[in-house]
Amino acid sequence: MKLIELLDGLDFEVINGNVETDIKDIKNDSRNVCEGDLFFCISGAVSDGHKYAEDVLKKGAAALIVEKEIDKKELKNQAVIKVKNSRYAMGYISSKFYGEPSKKLKVIGITGTKGKTTTTYMIREMLESCKKKTGLIGTIEIMDGKNIIPAKNTTPESIVLHKTLKDMVDNGLEAVVMEVSSQGLMLDRVAGVDFDYGIFTNLSKDHIGPNEHKTFEEYMMWKAKLFTLCKTGIFNADDSYMKDMIKDADCEIITYGMKEGADYRALDKRLYNKDGMLGIEYNLTGRNNADIIVDLPGEFSIHNSLAAVAIADLLKVPMEDIKKILRNIKVRGRVEMIPISDEFTILIDYAHNAMALESLLTALRAYSPKRLVTLFGCGGNRSKDRRYEMGEVSGKLSDFTIITSDNPRDEEPLEIIKDIKIGISKTDGRYIEIPDRKEAIRYAIMNAKNGDVIVLAGKGHEDYQEIKGVKHHMDERDLIKEILEEEDVTTICGYNNRYFA
């Protein structure tokens, strides 16, 4: 493909060479550059791609996209194109290079602090149910219609993203639902993506720090950017920040929630707890009407399901299919219930900071468990504040806490546990410390009582434990299975293994 074709519609300045150059491939990692490639010089937080200009020119790069001066010692007749923002140009050009694949798909983007992952899976299942072949890009994995690939970032870098969208088109998919992170929006990872729908789930203070967003206002601003890129925006009317999300939106606006006037409204919410399974029911009114049962606990499950219902309804999915999906929905590591007993509930959730843990435990408290038992640890090489805060939250909201190990990384697990205990000591919460996570889970199961809700928090979808730079396989579902095989299950309260049968 000619360079001029890739640059069409983009503001640029030719610094060297000419735009009729042939481009074989596009790269942003200097280690992978081959002869004839176009290389993007990206100014990153850790390293600056402009420093590698000399190396890639030696390797035979045909052209460079830059946003500032480079070392020209190795420069001959190669094209050097200067743009205002190399990251934006990378997304724009990637889309062109891969044949603008997003224009050949129905693209649904979801942004917000919580609920993105669960909502993506709900939507995908609903669209698949009526034969709309649908891909997924998110925190857990990428599903391209042929392969399931573990995710590295919630929103992939733009070259990877557009290549993935092309693969989806080639694999015969009609739609894709993707999580769109604030980092993905800020770093132009979604530049060049043609969004049909954008969904706003909710907003709360998260991802604020030196390596992410400087302030909550900045975080909110980048989230809102999605609604300048999509044709139709679907907003949570119950969230206090909705007005900020729609302030600069130039898309059609549709709302969902429990608030009067919402286009998709939930009324008469009811919690249910049957045979160790927790869920929620409500009456859908507004643009469509139905009695909805969601096989996931918590009020947040109402909002996640309403967002999915709105998209599915707009894309003409029959309501009976929508209801069936919600009645049987399972999302790995997101309030994922492991049904091993009719008398107590055990679930796995990714809650790995104080805000997420508080939201989860508050939601579960509404089911009036006999005991709310929380098992968690904290990651090493991370802020100690997270440990103090999670300890305090669990101490306040749990009847009993089992403190264990998460991903200790380069730290000693007992030192991390000591920090968690500082937080829990601010409360009257009862606890035990069991550093080995399998043994901690064993203790939780073997000491469960009728009416308990047991939360295994922090790992969620992860299937490893990182220790001293090495990721060791550790999946909590496997650990539960092993424990059941090792123990006399007749001694487990209300044992009825529906999960591993």
Q: How do residues 235-263 score in pLDDT, each as one tens digit? A: 999 999 999 999 999 999 999 999 999 99
Averaged confidence pLDDT in the chain: 95
Q: Is residue 379 part of a domain?
A: yes
Last residue of a domain, one of 59, 75, 93: 93
Are 21 and 168 in the same domain?
A: no
Phi, psi of 499, rounded to the nearest 5 degrees:
-85, -45
DSSP type of residue 475: -
pTM higher than 0.85: yes
Q: Compute CA distances 168 → 3, 195, 316, 368, whole Å.
A: 25, 15, 22, 45
Q: How far is Cα 395 from Cα 149, in angstroms, rounded to an integer?
A: 37
Are 290 and 181 in the same domain?
A: yes
Q: What is the pLDDT of residue 212?
A: 66
Taking CA 421 as the corner, what is the angle to CA 415 and CA 423, rounded to the nearest 5 degrees?
120
**Quick check: 361 and 398 in contact, CB under 8 A?**
yes
pLDDT beyond 60 at 492? yes
Bridge partner list, 81 = 14, 65
**Quick check: 141 and 189 in contact, CB under 8 A?**
no
Q: Is residue 40 part of a domain?
A: yes
Q: How far is Cα 8 from Cα 465, in angstroms, rounded to an integer?
A: 47
**Quick check: 71 and 54 in contact, CB under 8 A?**
yes
Are 84 and 109 in the same domain?
A: no
Q: What is the pLDDT of residue 223?
A: 94
Are 324 and 340 in the same domain?
A: no
Nearest alpha carbon to residue 499 among 302, 271, 334, 275: 275
The total number of structural domains in the chain stands at 3
Q: How do residues 430-489 score in pLDDT, each as one tens digit? A: 999 999 999 999 999 999 999 999 999 999 999 999 999 999 999 999 999 999 999 999
Last residue of a domain, one of 93, 118, 133: 93
Q: What is the CATH number of the domain that holds 253?
A: 3.40.1190.10
Mean pLDDT of 304-308: 98
Q: Is residue 148 part of a domain?
A: yes
Are 163 and 46 in the same domain?
A: no
Are 60 and 112 in the same domain?
A: no
**Quick check: 493 and 487 in contact, CB under 8 A?**
no
Q: What is the CATH number of the domain that holds 79?
A: 3.40.1390.10
Last residue of a domain, one of 328, 349, 366: 328
Q: Is residue 500 part of a domain?
A: no
Q: How do residues 8-55 score in pLDDT, each as one tens digit? A: 999 999 999 999 999 999 999 999 999 999 999 999 878 899 999 999
Q: Is residue 343 part of a domain?
A: yes
Are 152 and 301 in the same domain?
A: yes
**Quick check: 377 and 437 in contact, CB under 8 A?**
yes
Are 360 and 303 in the same domain?
A: no
pLDDT beyond 90 at 95? yes
Are 288 and 165 in the same domain?
A: yes
Q: Identify the band that residue 305 occupies on the pLDDT scale cut at 50, 70 and 90.
A: very high
Q: Identify the band that residue 89 occupies on the pLDDT scale cut at 50, 70 and 90.
A: very high
Sign of the torsion angle spanned by Cα atoms 153, 158, 160, 161: positive
Q: What is the pLDDT of residue 214?
A: 73
Q: Is residue 501 part of a domain?
A: no
Bridge partner list, 401 = 374, 431
Least confident stretch, 136-140, 188-192, 274-278: 274-278
Q: How many CB atoms lie within 10 A of CB 289?
A: 10
Q: What is the pLDDT of residue 204?
A: 84
- Rounded percentage of the chain residues whose pLDDT exceeds 90: 93
Q: How do residues 351-376 score in pLDDT, each as one tens digit? A: 999 999 999 999 999 999 999 999 99
Q: Is residue 59 part of a domain?
A: yes
pLDDT beyond 70 at 60? yes
pLDDT beyond 70 at 208? no
Are 170 and 307 in the same domain?
A: yes
Sign of the torsion angle spanned by Cα atoms 101, 105, 111, 116: negative
3-state secondary structure of 189: coil
pLDDT beyond 80 at 213? no
pLDDT beyond 70 at 211? no
Are 112 and 250 in the same domain?
A: yes
DSSP type of residue 262: -
Are 402 and 471 in the same domain?
A: yes
Domain that holds residue 69: 3-93
Q: Is residue 496 part of a domain?
A: no
Q: What is the pLDDT of residue 216?
A: 87
Mean pLDDT of 170-197: 97
- Burial (Cβ within 10 Å: 0-12, 13-18, ≥19) of residue 224: buried
Q: What is the pLDDT of residue 71?
A: 85
Q: What is the CATH number of the domain that holds 421?
A: 3.90.190.20
